[in-house]
Structure formats: C-alpha cells, structure tokens
Amino acid sequence: MNRFKCVILQDIIAPYKSLLFNALEKSMGGDFKVIYFGETDRNRQWRVVKKELKFPFEVMFEGKTDEASSTKVAAETYRRLNCYDPQVVIIGGYNYFAYWAALIWARTKKRKVIVIIESHYLDKPRYILKEKVKRLFVSNCNAALVDGTRHRDYTISLGLKSESIFIKKGTGPVDVSFYQRAVSRYKNNKIDLCKKLGIPCNNFIFIGRFSPEKNIISLLRVYKKIKDEVGKGWGLILLGNGLQRKKIEDFINENAVKDILLPGFKQKEEIPFFYVISDVLILPSVSEPWGLVVAEAMASNLPVLVSNRCGCYPDIVYDGINGFSFDPFNDDQLFELMNNVTRGEYNLEDMGKASLQIIKDHTPEKAAEMYLNAINFVMIESSK
C-alpha cells in the first residue's frame, strides 16, 4: 500500500486494542501514531503494561482521562495534531469534546477523517436530538471503522454510505494462542481445580462489570430456578466487580443460592484459568456494544449463551452451532437454554470446537487490514 501519515486518537489505553495496533505497526511502520488522552479512567481496574505496546504512542495526561478538563484535553489534541500534521486522522468516536476538536482540525486542514463507531442501534436508547448531533459528526467523516454488521447499519443511518464503512469484526481482536495455552495447561486438571475451589465440576460463567446493563440479577433469578428445579450439578462463576456487587451478594444470601463463586476482578493474565474451569459463557446484557468476553470464551473452546442485544451476536454467535441467543428481557428463554445445558441436550464439546474455529478467523492482522483498507479508501477517494 501507499504510505500515509496517520494519527489514531483514543481515550484510554485498552489492553484489548494493543494487539490490533501492534499488528498495524508491522504493516505501517512509523507512519502512524496512537495518541491517548489518558492511561485509564475511573471505571477501569485493568493494569496498563506499556511495554506491551509495540507501536508509536503518546499519552497526553498521565492518570485517568476523567481527571483532566474536557477543554484542556481538546486544546491539547488540536495542538498535537498541528505538530504531527497527519494526512489521515482516525477518531475513536464522537463522545468526547476532543474528538470534535480533531474533526474541526481535520476539516480546517483539509485532512481525511475516519471515525471508529462501536455502537449499534440497540445498545442504548436513542433520542432524536442526540442522533442529529451524531449525524452531524459522522456525515463530516470520510469513512468509518465499525465493530460488526449491526454497527454498519447504524452508521449508515448516521449518514455514511456502505462502501465507506469497514467492518473490523470486534472492538478488539483476541490472541487465540494466549487462551489456548491456558486450555492446554489446565484442562486435564479441571475436576481437581474445581474441587479445590469448592465448586461443582460443571459451571456457567459470566465475566464483566457488575453494573445494571449487564443484567446479572436476571441471570441470578434464572440460575436460582435452575438450582431449585434441577438441584446439584452446575455452578455459576461471576467474575468481576462494580457498583452492583452488594446487590448481587444480597440476592445470593437472601435467596440462599448455592454453588456461586465470586472471585472478584481479575487481570488479563488471570482470566483464562476461569474460562478453563467453566463450560458455558453467559452474557445476559441489555446493553452491550460488542461483548469482547464472548470472543475470549470462544478462544477458550466454550459454547456461549448471548443476549440478542449484544453487538457481537449476529457476527460470531451462530444459533445451534457454537451457542444460542436469547431475549435478555425474557427470563424464560434463558431458563430454557440453561436447563437444556444442564440436562445434556446440547453437545457442548462440539459447540466449543465450533467456537474456536469461528474466532480463529478474527485475527489482529485481519483487523489491521481493515484499518489499512479504510486509510487507502479515503486517500484514493481524495485523488479522484
């Protein structure tokens, strides 16, 4: 490809995007730079390991992005774009004042703009005024990088033509080999590991923030019904932390729900172990832009039960092949699926193998290729 100078703007250093940018570095070399507003934000507990970032990057403000004023971040964004003077600016969304500053800079300097859109129509309530503002932003961009098919359709509704939209298949790729190493290490000892933890040998698992949109209380209601009607045999691992932790603990205690493990928040290196001691991932979210944990579980040979509100559902979850989708507002649907799992109605091993085969195709290199295609597209269009 032709070599074009490019800046990618991101709010925080997200570990799951580093794989993508590392792959992009191999293709573009020093022709691109990632500029982060800050290292993390107050809602994230993950550890930032800068030595894993193998690409050129800058961090505007050390610490949390939400500790710096929005006007200060916007002004610094404008200044750095002036200094670097890229031909293409890839903007990480439209939800920060600094992203609007970047759009204004690019339009003023007659540079090309690619916007990253990780939302779809179902992930949040939509309000007419907000949608008009988003449409103003998106219609001033030359192309978009989106997570999946739902995100593409939403982006079209915001004013971009389908030929200028590039699907990168996820908010970030997963390193399949990273999860497969854990499978090789722990799989043969799964029964002993579960016994040491005091949990059943078969387990459902949820991984994510303990927040209302994750719909964990609904999952607990269904799991309680499973335990009441089926009895022993299956446990539930709730891995994570957040504002709803006390509410979750209260529900478990007040309803005397058994065989639930609450390990707390775990760093990236610790998570694969919990996939290996589990049998089925459940993601019951009522709002979920993508659902990276689904891809991680698939890379760990797990079948998945995924809310049909999750952005990843139509792209990597194939009903009856590697899992099933369900309506997160209908407990009966999830109960039927979980009940069928506990009764052995599904071949979980075959579904897990299908998961792995599907997700193997979603590599960092292919995601990076979509970035390159988008960059080439906007530069070729400008030469016409």
**H-helix or E-strand spanning residue 176:** helix 176-186
> Which residue spans within 240-377 are E strands per DSSP?
260-264, 280-283, 304-307, 323-326
Query: Which of the 8 DSSP states describes residue 47?
Result: P
Residues 6 or more apart from 126 whose CB is under 8 A from it?
none
Domains of the chain: residue spans and CATH: 6-173+363-383 (3.40.50.2000), 176-359 (3.40.50.2000)
Query: Which of the 8 DSSP states describes residue 288?
Result: B
Distance CA 4, CA 372 (A): 10
**The pair of three-digit structure tokens given for residue 157, joined into one six-digit string:** 């509704």
What is the dihedral angle through the alpha carbons of 226, 228, 232, 238, rounded to the nearest 10 degrees? 50
What's residue 348's pLDDT? 98
What's residue 347's pLDDT? 98
Output the pTM of the full model. Answer: 0.93
| 295 backbone dihedrals φ, ψ, rounded to 5° | -65, -40
Residues 6 or more apart from 191 whose CB is under 8 A from it?
201
What's residue 49's pLDDT? 75
pLDDT in 10s for each residue of the chain, 384 residues: 457 899 999 998 888 899 999 999 998 877 899 999 988 776 666 677 788 889 999 999 887 776 778 999 999 999 999 999 999 999 999 999 999 999 999 999 999 999 999 999 988 888 999 999 999 999 999 999 999 999 999 999 999 999 999 999 888 889 999 999 999 999 999 999 999 999 999 999 999 999 999 999 999 999 999 999 876 789 999 999 999 999 999 999 999 999 999 999 999 899 999 999 999 999 999 999 999 999 999 999 999 999 999 999 999 999 999 999 999 999 999 999 999 999 999 999 999 999 999 999 999 999 999 999 999 999 987 654
Residues 6 or more apart from 383 whose CB is under 8 A from it?
none
